[in-house]
Amino acid sequence: MLGEIKGLNEECGVFAVWGHEEAAQLAYYGLHSLQHRGQEGAGIVVSDGDKLSSHKGLGLITEAFKEGDLEQLQGSSAIGHVRYATAGGGGLVNCQPLLFQSQTTGLAVAHNGNLVNANHVKEELERKGSIFQSTSDTEVLAHLIKRSDETRFEDQLKDALSYIEGAYAFAVMTEDKLLCAMDPNGLRPLAIGTIGDTYVVASETCAFDVIGAEYLRDMQPGEIISIDDSGMHSELFSTATSRAICSLEYVYFARPDSNVDNINVHTARKNLGKEMAKEAPVEADVVTGVPDSSISAAIGYAEATGTPYELGLIKNRYVGRTFIQPSQALREQGVKMKLSAVRGVVEGKRVVMVDDSIVRGTTSKRIVRMLKEAGATEVHVRITSPPITHPCFYGIDTSTKAELIASSYTVDEMRDLMGADSLSFISIEGLQNGIGRDKSEPNCGQCLACFTGKYPTEIYDDTLHPHDKIMNG
Amino acid sequence: MLGEIKGLNEECGVFAVWGHEEAAQLAYYGLHSLQHRGQEGAGIVVSDGDKLSSHKGLGLITEAFKEGDLEQLQGSSAIGHVRYATAGGGGLVNCQPLLFQSQTTGLAVAHNGNLVNANHVKEELERKGSIFQSTSDTEVLAHLIKRSDETRFEDQLKDALSYIEGAYAFAVMTEDKLLCAMDPNGLRPLAIGTIGDTYVVASETCAFDVIGAEYLRDMQPGEIISIDDSGMHSELFSTATSRAICSLEYVYFARPDSNVDNINVHTARKNLGKEMAKEAPVEADVVTGVPDSSISAAIGYAEATGTPYELGLIKNRYVGRTFIQPSQALREQGVKMKLSAVRGVVEGKRVVMVDDSIVRGTTSKRIVRMLKEAGATEVHVRITSPPITHPCFYGIDTSTKAELIASSYTVDEMRDLMGADSLSFISIEGLQNGIGRDKSEPNCGQCLACFTGKYPTEIYDDTLHPHDKIMNG
Amino acid sequence: MLGEIKGLNEECGVFAVWGHEEAAQLAYYGLHSLQHRGQEGAGIVVSDGDKLSSHKGLGLITEAFKEGDLEQLQGSSAIGHVRYATAGGGGLVNCQPLLFQSQTTGLAVAHNGNLVNANHVKEELERKGSIFQSTSDTEVLAHLIKRSDETRFEDQLKDALSYIEGAYAFAVMTEDKLLCAMDPNGLRPLAIGTIGDTYVVASETCAFDVIGAEYLRDMQPGEIISIDDSGMHSELFSTATSRAICSLEYVYFARPDSNVDNINVHTARKNLGKEMAKEAPVEADVVTGVPDSSISAAIGYAEATGTPYELGLIKNRYVGRTFIQPSQALREQGVKMKLSAVRGVVEGKRVVMVDDSIVRGTTSKRIVRMLKEAGATEVHVRITSPPITHPCFYGIDTSTKAELIASSYTVDEMRDLMGADSLSFISIEGLQNGIGRDKSEPNCGQCLACFTGKYPTEIYDDTLHPHDKIMNG
Amino acid sequence: MLGEIKGLNEECGVFAVWGHEEAAQLAYYGLHSLQHRGQEGAGIVVSDGDKLSSHKGLGLITEAFKEGDLEQLQGSSAIGHVRYATAGGGGLVNCQPLLFQSQTTGLAVAHNGNLVNANHVKEELERKGSIFQSTSDTEVLAHLIKRSDETRFEDQLKDALSYIEGAYAFAVMTEDKLLCAMDPNGLRPLAIGTIGDTYVVASETCAFDVIGAEYLRDMQPGEIISIDDSGMHSELFSTATSRAICSLEYVYFARPDSNVDNINVHTARKNLGKEMAKEAPVEADVVTGVPDSSISAAIGYAEATGTPYELGLIKNRYVGRTFIQPSQALREQGVKMKLSAVRGVVEGKRVVMVDDSIVRGTTSKRIVRMLKEAGATEVHVRITSPPITHPCFYGIDTSTKAELIASSYTVDEMRDLMGADSLSFISIEGLQNGIGRDKSEPNCGQCLACFTGKYPTEIYDDTLHPHDKIMNG
pLDDT tens by residue, D383-424: 999 999 999 889 876 656 778 999 999 999 999 999 999 999
For residue D319, the model assigns a pLDDT of 66
**Residues of chain C neighbouring B134 (CB-CB closer than 8 A):** 101
The mean-pLDDT minimum among A419-428, B226-235, C117-126 falls in: C117-126
Per-residue pLDDT tens over the stretch B401-420: 778 999 999 999 999 999 99
Per-residue pLDDT tens over the stretch D166-190: 999 999 999 999 999 999 999 999 9
Pick the residue from chain B with its C-alpha nearest to C130: B130
Percent of chain B with pLDDT over 90: 69
- The set of catalytic residues of B is 12
Q: Please indicate if any CB of chain D lies within 8 Å of the CB of A335.
A: no
Q: Which residues pair with A98 in a beta bridge?
A: A109
Q: What was the ipTM of the complex prediction?
A: 0.85
Pick the residue from chain A with its C-alpha nearest to D97: A133
CA gap C222, C244 in Å, rounded: 12
Q: Please indicate if any CB of chain C lies within 8 Å of the CB of D369.
A: no
Q: Is the dihedral of CA A245, A249, A254, A257 positive or negative?
A: positive
Do the annotations mark residue A293 as ligand-binding? yes
* Confidence band for B354, pLDDT divided at 50, 70 and 90: very high
Do the annotations mark residue D356 as ligand-binding? yes
Q: Which contiguous run of DSSP H or E holds residue A430?
A: helix A428-435
- Is the model's pLDDT at C317 over the cut of 90? no
When pLDDT is averaged across residues C451-457 and rounded to a whole number, the result is 95
Q: Is the dihedral of CA C220, C226, C231, C233 positive or negative?
A: negative
Question: Pick from A102, A122, A134: which is nearest to D132 by CB?
Answer: A102
Q: Which of residues 375-414 of D touch C (CB under 8 A)?
A: none
Question: Pick from B100, B101, B103: which is nearest to C119 by CB?
Answer: B103
For residue C3, the model assigns a pLDDT of 35
Does residue B180 or residue C5 have the better pLDDT?
A: B180
Phi, psi of A447 (to 5 degrees): -85, 125
DSSP D255-270: -TT-EETTEEHHHHHH
Do the annotations mark residue D412 as ligand-binding? no
Q: Please indicate if any CB of chain C lies within 8 Å of the CB of D91.
A: no
**Residues of chain B neighbouring A314 (CB-CB closer than 8 A):** 206, 255-257
Write the CATH number of the domain with boundaries B262-316+336-436: 3.40.50.2020
For residue C468, the model assigns a pLDDT of 31
- Is the model's pLDDT at D327 over the cut of 60? yes
Per-residue pLDDT tens over the stretch C24-50: 999 999 999 999 998 888 999 999 999
For residue B400, the model assigns a pLDDT of 67
**Residues of chain B neighbouring C147 (CB-CB closer than 8 A):** 129
CA gap C168, C183 in Å, rounded: 5
CA gap B174, D410 in Å, rounded: 77
Q: Please indicate if any CB of chain B lies within 8 Å of the CB of A66.
A: yes
Cβ atoms A437, A261 nearer than 8 A:
yes
Cβ atoms D399, D469 nearer than 8 A:
yes
| Residue ranges, CATH 3.60.20.10, chain B | 7-241
| Residue ranges, CATH 3.40.50.2020, chain C | 265-317+327-441
Own/partner long-range contacts of A22-25 (Cβ < 8 Å, ≥24 apart): A22/B327, A22/B329, A22/B330, A23/A73, A23/A75, A23/A76, A23/A77, A23/A78, A24/A70, A24/A73, A24/A74, A24/A75, A24/A78, A25/A70, A25/B326, A25/B327, A25/B330, A25/B335
- Is the model's pLDDT at D196 over the cut of 60? yes
Q: Rounded to two decimals, what is the model's pTM?
A: 0.82
Cα angle for residues A440, A445, A451 (degrees, 5° grid): 120
CA gap C387, C381 in Å, rounded: 13
Secondary structure class of D282 (helix, strand, coil): coil
Per-residue pLDDT tens over the stretch B450-468: 999 999 999 886 554 433 3
| Residue ranges, CATH 3.60.20.10, chain A | 3-241
The mean-pLDDT minimum among B247-256, C79-88, C158-167, C184-193 falls in: C79-88
- Is the model's pLDDT at C200 over the cut of 60? yes
Per-residue pLDDT tens over the stretch C277-311: 999 999 999 999 999 889 999 999 999 999 999 99
Q: Please indicate if any CB of chain A lies within 8 Å of the CB of D68.
A: no
Secondary structure class of C269 (helix, strand, coil): helix
Secondary structure class of A87 (helix, strand, coil): coil
Pick the residue from chain A with its C-alpha nearest to D91: A55
CA gap C295, D310 in Å, rounded: 10
B205 Cα to chain A: minimum distance (Å): 10
- Is the model's pLDDT at C4 over the cut of 60? no
CB-CB neighbours of C440 under 10 Å = 7
Which one of 3.50.30.30, 1.10.443.10, 3.40.50.2020, 3.30.70.260 gives the CATH number of domain A261-316+325-452? 3.40.50.2020
Cβ atoms B221, B243 nearer than 8 A:
yes
CA gap B346, B309 in Å, rounded: 11
- Alpha-carbon radius of gyration of chain C: 22
CA gap C322, D57 in Å, rounded: 14
Cβ atoms B82, B61 nearer than 8 A:
yes
CA gap D176, D181 in Å, rounded: 17
Per-residue pLDDT tens over the stretch B153-176: 999 999 999 999 999 999 999 999
Neighbouring chains of D at 3+ CB pairs under 8 Å are: A, C
How far the first Cα of chain C sits from its last, in Å, is 26
Q: Please indicate if any CB of chain C lies within 8 Å of the CB of B119.
A: yes
Interchain CB distance below 8 Å, C134 and B101: yes
CA gap C456, C394 in Å, rounded: 10
CB-CB neighbours of A152 under 10 Å = 12
Side-chain half-sphere exposure of C23, counting CA atoms within 13 A: 31
H helices within B374-447, ranges in order? 411-418, 428-435
- Is the model's pLDDT at C464 over the cut of 80? no
For residue A468, the model assigns a pLDDT of 31
For residue A5, the model assigns a pLDDT of 36
* Confidence band for D461, pLDDT divided at 50, 70 and 90: low
Does residue C89 or residue C137 have the better pLDDT?
A: C137
- Is the model's pLDDT at D473 over the cut of 50? no
Cβ atoms D173, D77 nearer than 8 A:
yes
- Domain D263-316+331-452's class? alpha beta
Per-residue pLDDT tens over the stretch D84-104: 754 335 567 778 999 998 877
Q: Please indicate if any CB of chain C lies within 8 Å of the CB of D303.
A: yes
- Is the model's pLDDT at B325 over the cut of 80? no
β-pair type (C422-425, C378-383): parallel
The rounded mean pLDDT for chain D is 89
Secondary structure class of D132 (helix, strand, coil): coil
Does residue D454 or residue D103 have the better pLDDT?
A: D454
When pLDDT is averaged across residues D239-260 and rounded to a whole number, the result is 94
The mean-pLDDT minimum among B17-26, B131-140, B273-282, B337-346 falls in: B131-140
Write the CATH number of the domain with boundaries B7-241: 3.60.20.10
CA gap B318, B335 in Å, rounded: 16
Per-residue pLDDT tens over the stretch B83-99: 875 433 556 777 899 99
For residue B60, the model assigns a pLDDT of 87
CATH fold of the domain at C265-317+327-441: Rossmann fold (3.40.50)
Q: Please indicate if any CB of chain C lies within 8 Å of the CB of D25.
A: yes
CA gap C417, C362 in Å, rounded: 9
For residue C358, the model assigns a pLDDT of 93
Cβ atoms B257, A343 nearer than 8 A:
yes
- Is the model's pLDDT at C91 over the cut of 90? no
CA gap B307, A262 in Å, rounded: 25
**Residues of chain D neighbouring C29 (CB-CB closer than 8 A):** 326, 330, 335, 337
When pLDDT is averaged across residues B255-262 and rounded to a whole number, the result is 94
Phi, psi of B312 (to 5 degrees): -90, -15
For residue A469, the model assigns a pLDDT of 29
Contacts of C174 (CB under 8 A, 6+ apart): C47, C52, C105, C106, C107, C108, C153
- Catalytic residue chosen out of the listed positions D12, D95, D180, D206: D12
**Residues of chain C neighbouring B107 (CB-CB closer than 8 A):** 131
Write the CATH number of the domain with boundaries C3-241: 3.60.20.10
The rounded mean pLDDT for chain C is 89
Per-residue pLDDT tens over the stretch D436-452: 999 999 999 999 999 99
For residue B395, the model assigns a pLDDT of 81
- Is the model's pLDDT at D35 over the cut of 50? yes
| DSSP type of residue A375 | T
Q: Going from the first residue of chain A to its last (473 residues), give the mean pLDDT of each consecutive group of 10, the final group possibly shorter.
A: 39 93 94 91 95 90 86 95 64 84 88 90 89 84 93 96 95 97 97 97 95 95 97 94 95 94 96 98 97 94 96 82 74 77 94 95 92 96 97 77 88 97 98 96 95 92 41 25
| Residue ranges, CATH 3.40.50.2020, chain B | 262-316+336-436
Does residue C133 or residue A173 have the better pLDDT?
A: A173
